Amino acid sequence: MRTTIKDVARRAHVSTATVSLVLNDHRRISADTKKRVLKVIEEMDYHPSQAARGLVSQHTGNIGFILTEDHFLRTEPFYTHIFLGAEFEARKSPYFILLTTVPTNFSDQSPLPRFVLQKSVDAIIIAGKVPDILINRLKDYRIPLVFIDYFPGSGEYPCVLTDNLQGGLLATEHLISCGHEHIAFVGGDIKHPSIRDRLLGYKMALEKHNLPIVKDHIFFKEMPTSKEGGYQATASLIQKSKQITALFSCNDAMAIGAMQYLKENNIRVPKDISVIGFDDIESDLFQDPPLSTIRVSKIDMGSEAFRMVTELLQKKNRSPRKIIIPVELVARQSTCRLSTGKG
Amino acid sequence: MRTTIKDVARRAHVSTATVSLVLNDHRRISADTKKRVLKVIEEMDYHPSQAARGLVSQHTGNIGFILTEDHFLRTEPFYTHIFLGAEFEARKSPYFILLTTVPTNFSDQSPLPRFVLQKSVDAIIIAGKVPDILINRLKDYRIPLVFIDYFPGSGEYPCVLTDNLQGGLLATEHLISCGHEHIAFVGGDIKHPSIRDRLLGYKMALEKHNLPIVKDHIFFKEMPTSKEGGYQATASLIQKSKQITALFSCNDAMAIGAMQYLKENNIRVPKDISVIGFDDIESDLFQDPPLSTIRVSKIDMGSEAFRMVTELLQKKNRSPRKIIIPVELVARQSTCRLSTGKG
DNA sequence: TTGAAAGCGCTAACAC
DNA sequence: GTGTTAGCGCTTTCAA
């Protein structure tokens, strides 16, 4: 940090206070001086020292971003997209984001992120489901928290969610509109609020169209919502019921696993069984056939969350808000009209 | 930041200077006072303010981490693993990492990362191939640069690379040891030094075993090293030569695309054609059959790079170092002995 | 071996 | 509308 506020002040023939006021866009500064000072700032390529600013303002200028390790590392670039949405938004702000992961099975004993212990962040964004114990331990530090794609059972926090209910409804109604009546739900991680809502949407759609909710058509165990999980869940469903002509998978990863099971067992997609997923992760497109799904704008979720944080820090609004990001049906080739003579 | 160095000094009955010396583990401090001060620090859960430290030391305490957008977002968690390796290492240090992406086609006009413009980082780690123009523009800022998995053509920079040559050799020799003689190379991105080395390893292996290097068995165009690329490259290779019994793909993503092409064309893997990849990305395991590959320790690459950065900042060593991370053959089920009567 | 004090670059209260 | 100045929390001479 070579050039300081003093250098600017000297060159602009004003005091450092004036430069500071200009920097912070204070109202009581004449348009004239402002222009002059800004010109000098530009000329000298001056950038205020974050350290000095932070020292006096008692803010760190950093926002923490917490993901569990497996969310960050999973094959589908879901959470990385969310992070990037936040990072894009951060570029327009004076804040930097400190990204860190916590163990997926974060416990009593696990160390909290260093930026928490050192109080190096002004607020924290948490994306995806994290253990309750983490949230509880975070509470003691009185750092504002914003959640993305997860809403903790206890406590009132601002959060950004997707319209899971609507998505479940859209996906199921899409299948119904294709003539399917025996639609299975491929689920996992029973306690996850998003998954619950997707299942609820599924049920609502069936009810709405006077279709029965069949117990054997719902796979919903506490298991990872991964490709492997989808593979196993589908195996179980198919073995239990021969009627199924369509699968609504609670996410794309499971849907991809489902498709693999079906392929290996010579069940054609979508001719024999239609498959629809949820999330619209990138790799959907290279599936064979390309996966129909419910699109969730990950970038938007991240940027909305970041915007929430900055509002929070400016105390613009006080009550914890919930933002629901809309979803969209993307019909590709893994779903089709029920072929006549079957189902 | 409630408790300050003053509070600690008062409670420990020493001056703030003494506390500071203890914090920085200065030699000329008596073991006795040191112990006492440390105890108070512990009791009060005191953490020095980074802002104040930075202000006086003229360091930011941050390390920048740059990835191109598509590297960060790609399906294979390759670069995310590398980042995590660096982040893990950073936790042991006083530094924080600021992760940002740049457009994959970063140009003259593209804005540099904000942390560069604002001089908010003490050093920068760049992972993966980036446009030369980025490196050139970064030069002006005189921020130390460390590269991971890429070595810029011009300039002398410390970097962490994988042993691509050795990997190419290992992969090809594995196939040769399985009896294969007509081995194709599935490549792309002709200008990438890593890919060149992998191809070189392939050629060396063939030569070493007195096998001819066949032009039609090498696909090597300037195209993305993605699943799609692998699919197309394989199509082209197979159509040109009927002799091929094994494929060495320059990375796993292309290998997965290759397997997909083979499957769709009723060519069995590994019975008809063996396939080996490079990188050992996680999703390899769920491939059918599981992909043989060359394992690269991404976590190690990240942590080595971070360690390099901290050494650099402590001026411990001056000459730019190159670290080559060893690779390892992982033989899974996508490669097998050449069935007799063929090839 | 330890303490006193200056000063890093900035903001904000107060003075003019 | 602009300038003066104290002070944010720390490190680092320089004295003792």
- Cis amide prior to A212 (ω within 30 degrees): no
Q: Is the dihedral of CA B294, B300, B302, B305 positive or negative?
A: negative
Task: Decide if pLDDT at B57 tops 50.
Answer: yes
pLDDT of residue A343: 36
- 3-state SS class at A66: strand
Nearest residue to C9 via alpha carbon and C1': A52
- The Cα B128–Cα B60 span in angstroms is 25
Could you say which residues from 122 to 151 on chain B have a Cβ atom under 8 Å away from some Cβ of chain A?
Answer: none
DSSP B162: E
Whether residues B84 and A69 touch (CB distance < 8 A) is answered with: yes
In the numeric block, the tokens 């001089």 are attached to B119
Q: Which of B52, B75, B264 sits opposite A282 (nearest CB)?
A: B75
Q: Is the dihedral of CA B208, B210, B215, B217 positive or negative?
A: negative
Interface membership of B333 toward A (CB under 8 Å) = no
Tokens of A28: 């009581």
- 3-state SS class at B121: coil
Q: Quick one: average pLDDT of B84-102?
A: 96
* Cα three-residue angle A320-A322-A324, rounded to 5 degrees: 170
Q: Are the C-beta atoms of B36 and A47 separated by less than 8 Å?
A: no
Task: Decide if pLDDT at B285 tops 90.
Answer: no
Which of A53, A80, A102, A263 is the mutation pick for testing B, counting most B CBs within 10 A?
A: A80
Whether residues B80 and A80 touch (CB distance < 8 A) is answered with: yes
φ, ψ of residue A247 in degrees (nearest 5)? -125, 130
Q: Give the nearest nucleotide to B32, CA to C1'.
A: C1
Q: What percent of chain B has pLDDT over 70?
A: 96
Interface membership of B44 toward A (CB under 8 Å) = no
Q: Quick one: average pLDDT of B49-76?
A: 92
- Cis amide prior to B224 (ω within 30 degrees): no
| Type of residue at B124 | I
Whether residues A98 and B98 touch (CB distance < 8 A) is answered with: yes
Q: Quick one: average pLDDT of B285-300?
A: 89
Which has the minimum average pLDDT: B71-80, B138-147, B185-194?
B71-80
Which has the minimum average pLDDT: A220-229, B58-67, B90-99, B156-165?
A220-229
Task: Quote the longest CA-to-CA distance of chain A.
Answer: 87
Beta-strand ranges (E) seen in B53-95 are: 62-68
pLDDT of residue B31: 87
Q: Are the C-beta atoms of A183 and A176 separated by less than 8 Å?
A: yes
Q: Which of B1, B73, B282 sits opposite A77 (nearest CB)?
A: B73
- The Cα B163–Cα B197 span in angstroms is 8
pTM of the entire predicted model: 0.92
Cα distances (Å, whole numbers) of residue A126 to A66, A147, A196: 5, 5, 20
Chain A: residue whose CA lies nearest to B62: A98
CB atoms < 10 A from the CB of A39, how many? 12
Distance A59 CA to C5 C1' (A): 27
Q: Quick one: average pLDDT of B103-128?
A: 96
Whether residues B84 and A73 touch (CB distance < 8 A) is answered with: yes
Q: Is the dihedral of CA A213, A215, A221, A224 positive or negative?
A: negative
Nearest to A173 by CA among A142, A208, A149, A138: A208
Nearest to B188 by CA among B293, B278, B291: B278
pLDDT digits (tens, 9 = 90+) for B16-31: 999 999 999 887 788 8
Nearest residue to C1 via alpha carbon and C1': B29
Task: Decide if pLDDT at B131 tops 80.
Answer: yes
Nearest to B63 by CA among B161, B155, B151, B148: B148
Tokens of A68: 């569990």
Contacts of A92 in chain B (CB under 8 A): none
Tokens of B241: 């030569």
- The Cα B334–Cα B246 span in angstroms is 10
A314: Cβ contacts below 8 Å, ≥ 6 apart: none
Interface membership of A49 toward B (CB under 8 Å) = yes
Q: Give the nearest nucleotide to B53, CA to C1'.
A: D10
Which has the minimum average pLDDT: A186-195, A300-309, B267-276, B285-294?
B285-294
Nearest residue to C7 via alpha carbon and C1': B56
Average per-residue pLDDT for chain B: 92
Kindly determine whether the C-beta of residue B32 is less than 7 Å away from any atom of nucleic acid strand C.
Answer: yes
Q: How many Å lie between the alpha carbon of A203 and the closest alpha carbon of chain B?
A: 31
Please indicate whether residue B72 or residue B154 has the higher confidence score (pLDDT).
B72
pLDDT of residue A121: 96
Kindly determine whether the C-beta of residue A5 is less than 7 Å away from any atom of nucleic acid strand C.
Answer: yes
pLDDT of residue A155: 76
Interface membership of A99 toward B (CB under 8 Å) = yes
Q: Quick one: average pLDDT of B78-97?
A: 95
Question: pLDDT tens track of chain A, all 343 residues?
Answer: 579 999 999 999 999 999 999 999 888 788 889 999 999 999 999 999 999 999 999 999 999 999 999 999 887 789 999 999 999 999 999 999 999 999 999 999 999 999 999 999 999 999 999 999 999 999 999 999 999 999 888 778 999 999 999 999 999 999 999 999 999 999 999 889 999 999 999 999 999 999 999 999 999 888 889 888 999 999 999 999 999 999 999 999 999 999 999 988 999 999 999 999 999 987 766 778 899 999 999 999 999 999 999 999 987 666 678 999 999 999 999 999 987 654 3
Interface membership of A193 toward B (CB under 8 Å) = no
Distance B56 CA to D12 C1' (A): 9
Q: Quick one: average pLDDT of B253-276?
A: 94
Task: Decide if pLDDT at B215 tops 90.
Answer: yes
Q: Which of B81, B117, B118 sits opposite A73 (nearest CB)?
A: B81
- The Cα B112–Cα B137 span in angstroms is 8
Confidence of residue B343 (pLDDT cuts 50, 70, 90): very low
Q: Give the nearest nucleotide to A53, CA to C1'.
A: C10
Q: Are the C-beta atoms of B281 and B76 separated by less than 8 Å?
A: yes
Contacts of B84 in chain A (CB under 8 A): 69, 72-73, 101
B62-68 and B96-102 beta bridge pairing:
parallel
Nearest to B336 by CA among B283, B268, B286, B287: B268
Whether residues A77 and B81 touch (CB distance < 8 A) is answered with: no
Q: How many Å lie between the alpha carbon of B183 and the closest alpha carbon of chain A?
A: 26
